[in-house]
Amino acid sequence: MCNTGAPDELAHKLHISKRHLYNVLDNLRALGAKIDYSRSDYTFYYTNSFELHLNLQVEYLDDNDKKCIFAGSFFI
C-alpha cells in the first residue's frame, strides 16, 4: 500500500503549504469525498468510493490579453 506521508510531507510533495492542503481536503470533502488520516500508517485515504472528473482547457493568450489579466503588470 502506498502512503501519502504526514501532512507536511504531502504538502511538500504537492508544492503547496500545509494550510492549502487542508483547504483542498476540505473542498474535496464538500464534494462528497470521505477522507480520513491514519496516524499509524502516515497516510490520507478515502473511506468511500469517490470519483473526481476534471476538465482541463488550455488557451494561449497574446501579450495584450496577458496585460488585461495582470492589470498591466509584468511578472518576471
pLDDT in tens, 42-68: 999 999 998 989 899 988 888 877 777
Element (H, E) at 35: strand 35-38
Instruction: Give the amino acid at 60.
Output: Y
pLDDT in tens, 15-39: 999 999 999 999 999 999 999 999 9
Alpha-carbon dihedral sign for residues 14, 19, 20, 22 = positive
Tell me: pLDDT of 72 over 60.
no
Q: Give pTM, 2 decimals.
A: 0.68
Return the domain boundaries, the chain: 7-69
